Amino acid sequence: MAHRRLGNCLACHEITKVLDLAKTKSQIEITDLNGKTSKMPLGTHGHIGPSLDGVADRYTEGELRMLVVNAKKIFPDTIMPAFHRNDGFTNVHPDCDGLAILSAAQVEDVVAFLKTLKE
């Protein structure tokens, strides 16, 4: 939810649970895809997208999955990137061509977390 290489939902969205955690803890440890652990400061959220508080009450599991995979299928005018789409892009660096931001398993992890965000 907060890793720059794995979507970083918190760059655009606010989650009160994370803000509350930031009041008691200044940073958390995160592990990247190579197993390297680093610390990330808490309390910095974006306000571009809607708050994710209560998102599980607003959308079904399938809708949450589609929002993560390719939000433009639900909201055509969104600026949210497609996290599991890997084709149809322009000006893609050759090393990244055909790659998605998140794997299918990572999408399921994000959906599982989003399902916990109830009012």
| Digit-coded pLDDT (tens) for 65-100 | 999 999 999 999 999 988 887 777 677 788 877 778
- Cross-strand partners of 1: none
pLDDT for 53 beyond 80: yes
pLDDT for the residue numbered 99: 78
pLDDT, tens digit, 9 for 90 and up, residues 24-51: 666 666 666 677 777 666 556 677 889 8
DSSP string, 52-84: -TTHHHHS-HHHHHHHHHHGGGT-TT--PPPSS
> pTM of the predicted model, to two decimals?
0.72
Q: Which domains does the chain have, with CATH numbers?
A: 1-51 (no CATH), 54-119 (1.10.760.10)
Q: Which among 40, 43, 35 has a CA at the least distance from the CA of 4? A: 40
